């Protein structure tokens, strides 16, 4: 039997996301506070296979070289001048195209697992640089702790304030939102006018009150494309969330709850009212 490992690949949420500028190459510069959450896919990696392969139990995830887990394996083996191969099975629990970074997380999980398996040939910075060649969010997942990201989201700085491990409830309204469409429809002029106030709030964040910094420049555009996202956010707040926000470019929204009991009550209530929505209970991973 070939050697194998089972690893968890966590989702993220953006607690703050501000678009700070449009670049000449068409990408946007942003500043975002990202944190892993407990919701995760499970990857089974088999080493020393004759070819690199991927399989996944979700119909929207490609099972070829466009899968971000395969891209990660190729980049890693190129970087260490190896002709080895792996096989990956992805047990998908993170909704796909939902602003939770599932694909990027899978890529980072493969990079970290391979680096571990081959006894750390690459320092973490080099691994994060490899990740940036796969996708803007991958360096954050390689890093794996709460972080402030700048640039197109690929420049990572440790977030030093303590974040409590708040329970959260996530609603995925079962419709993915195209990141490209959200960027295309973003009214950059409008988002710019709010900047000064927001930056001040952000600088003065206090650990007791994370909910006061929740902010996402993509929300107005996403709410227009799919008003169900705004409904989901309102419902989380009506059911006792201290704050609620859309994650990344959507369409998942999360609510932060003071304790697990409140989160469970909200979860049951939402499942009862909206059986078509995917609802999850999770927690911020602050370590
Ligand atoms: P982004 O904001 O970067 O689009 P997301 O969290 O909204 O991220 P993902 O779940 O990462 O979305 O999926 C985005 C796209 O990437 C999907 O269309 C999917 O087909 C493709 N993809 C490639 N590899 C994977 C993977 N391992 N897991 C999930 N999606 C993947």
CA of 135 to the centre of ligand 1 (A): 10
CA of 194 to the centre of ligand 1 (A): 30
Q: Is the CB of 182 under 6 A from ligand 1?
A: no
Q: Is the CB of 251 under 6 A from ligand 1?
A: no
Q: What is the pLDDT of residue 196?
A: 47
Distance CA 235, CA 242 (A): 12
DSSP code, position 133: T
Q: Is the CB of 62 under 6 A from ligand 1?
A: yes
On the 0-12 / 13-18 / 19+ scale of CB atoms within 10 A, 280 is: buried
Q: Is the CB of 179 under 6 A from ligand 1?
A: yes
What pairs with residue 90 in β-bridges? 43, 56
Instruction: Tell me the domain boundaries of the chain.
Output: 4-158, 167-285
Rounded-to-5 percentages of helix, strand, coil across the chain: 35, 30, 35
Q: What CATH number belongs to 167-285?
A: 3.30.70.890
Q: What CATH number belongs to 4-158?
A: 3.30.230.10
CA of 96 to the centre of ligand 1 (A): 6
CA of 78 to the centre of ligand 1 (A): 23
Active-site annotation, residues = 12, 137
As given in the structure block, the two tokens for residue 153 are 């989201």
Q: What is the pLDDT of residue 199?
A: 52
Question: If you take atom 17 of ligand 1, which residue's CA is the nearest one?
Answer: 97
Q: Tens of pLDDT along the chain (287 residues)?
A: 889 999 999 999 999 999 988 888 878 899 999 999 999 999 999 999 999 999 999 999 999 999 999 999 999 999 999 999 999 999 999 999 999 999 999 999 999 999 999 999 999 999 999 999 999 999 999 999 999 999 988 899 999 877 889 999 999 998 778 888 888 888 765 555 555 455 555 555 554 578 888 999 999 999 999 999 999 999 999 999 999 999 999 899 999 999 999 999 999 999 999 999 999 999 999 87
Q: What is the pLDDT of residue 222?
A: 94
């Amino acid at each position: 039997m070939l050697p194998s490992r089972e690893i968890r690949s966590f989702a993220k949420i953006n607690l703050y996301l501000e678009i700070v500028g449009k670049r000449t190459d068409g990408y946007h510069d942003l500043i975002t506070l990202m944190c892993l959450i407990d919701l995760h896919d499970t990857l089974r990696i088999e080493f020393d296979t004759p070819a690199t392969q991927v399989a996944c139990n979700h119909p929207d995830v490609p099972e070829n070289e466009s899968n971000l887990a395969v891209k990660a394996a190729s980049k890693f083996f190129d970087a260490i001048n190896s002709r080895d191969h792996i096989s990956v099975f992805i047990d998908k629990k993170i909704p796909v195209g939902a602003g939770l970074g599932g694909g990027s997380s899978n890529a980072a999980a493969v990079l970290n697992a391979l680096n571990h398996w081959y006894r750390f040939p690459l320092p973490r910075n080099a691994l994060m640089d490899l990740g940036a060649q796969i996708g803007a969010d991958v360096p954050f997942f390689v890093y794996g702790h709460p972080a402030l990201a700048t640039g197109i989201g690929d420049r990572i700085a440790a977030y030093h304030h303590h974040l409590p491990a708040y329970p959260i409830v996530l609603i995925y309204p079962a419709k993915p939102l195209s990141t490209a469409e959200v960027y295309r429809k973003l009214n950059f002029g409008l988002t710019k006018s709010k900047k000064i106030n927001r930056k001040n709030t952000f600088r003065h964040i206090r650990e007791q009150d994370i909910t006061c910094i929740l902010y996402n420049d993509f929300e107005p555009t996403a709410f227009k494309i799919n008003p169900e996202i705004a409904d989901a956010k309102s419902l989380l707040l009506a059911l006792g969330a201290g704050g609620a926000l859309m994650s990344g470019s959507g369409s998942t929204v999360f609510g932060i709850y003071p304790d697990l009991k409140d989160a469970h009550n909200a979860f049951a209530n939402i499942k009862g009212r909206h059986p078509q929505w995917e609802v999850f209970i999770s927690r911020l991973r602050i370590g």
